[in-house]
Amino acid sequence: MSPIELNKRQEEILRIVKGNGPITGEQIADRLHLTRATLRPDLAILTMAGFLDARPRVGYFYSGKKPGQDISDTMNNMKVKDFQSIPVVVREDVSVYDAISQMFLDDVGTLFVVDKNSYLTGVLSRKDLLRTSLGSQNLGAIPVHIIMTRMPNITFCTKNDSLIQAAHRLINQQIDALPVVEEQPDGFKVVGRLTKTNITRAFLSLSESHEL
């Protein structure tokens, strides 16, 4: 096991928890003037690498023990919920033109499509929209449900899936993003977006918390 090298923010979190634990994620975020969501990957890494312990409804405390996990244990414990991004969704009846605008506005490469009850019905990638733009003059008149990849052919994940499982799906299906969904009696609600960028970010956090 190589010595662990933490990034500056992770060092700061450890210092705060050592001095103030048990302390909740929100309280740590407040002290660092960051959002809880920004901190989530760092807290996940510190917990998985054995620096911190987390108890539900109590918070984080410094475990004091030397990090004993090796990198494969840390990787297996990385969950989608710790690295996912906010989803960008559009309704089935919006036009291809508006979907392209939305993609630029929100700076994402994949849009998720939902019906009027907010259940997942489809996915739109950059190339889906480009293909339609090449072949058609009036993008304002074509609703996205005509060109999207639709259920049940959508590959998705849930927030408690491991990041490794999600990465396998991205590679096996040759796609850039998975909707993170919650199953409900009548369909799937979209609660997040898991992209190749999230996997790359997780890869970097690993290299920062294990000296690589």
Contacts with ligand ADP by CB under 6 A lie at 110, 123, 125-128, 149, 153-155, 174-178
As measured in angstroms, the least distance from the Cβ of 92 to ligand ADP is 14
d(CA 166, CA 142): 32
Q: Which is nearer to ligand ADP, 28 or 154 (CB)?
A: 154
Closest C-alpha among 179, 208, 156 to residue 8: 208
As measured in angstroms, the least distance from the Cβ of 174 to ligand ADP is 6
As measured in angstroms, the least distance from the Cβ of 172 to ligand ADP is 11
As measured in angstroms, the least distance from the Cβ of 53 to ligand ADP is 35
DSSP letters for the chain: -PPP---HHHHHHHHHHHHH-SB-HHHHHHHHT--HHHHHHHHHHHHHTTSEEEETTTEEEE--SPP---HHHHHHH-BHHHH-B---EEETTSBHHHHHHHHHHHT-SEEEEE-TT-BEEEEEEHHHHHHHHHH-S-GGGSBGGGTSEETTS---B-TTSBHHHHHHHHHHHT-SEEEEEEEETTEEEEEEEEEHHHHHHHHHHHHHHTT-
**R_g of the chain computed on alpha carbons:** 20
Q: Which is nearer to ligand ADP, 160 or 172 (CB)?
A: 172
Q: Which is nearer to ligand ADP, 71 or 191 (CB)?
A: 191
Q: Which is nearer to ligand ADP, 29 or 180 (CB)?
A: 180
Q: Which is nearer to ligand ADP, 98 or 176 (CB)?
A: 176
As measured in angstroms, the least distance from the Cβ of 162 to ligand ADP is 17
Q: Which is nearer to ligand ADP, 66 or 131 (CB)?
A: 131
As measured in angstroms, the least distance from the Cβ of 154 to ligand ADP is 4
The crossing angle, in degrees rounded to 10, of helices 8-20 and 25-32 is 120
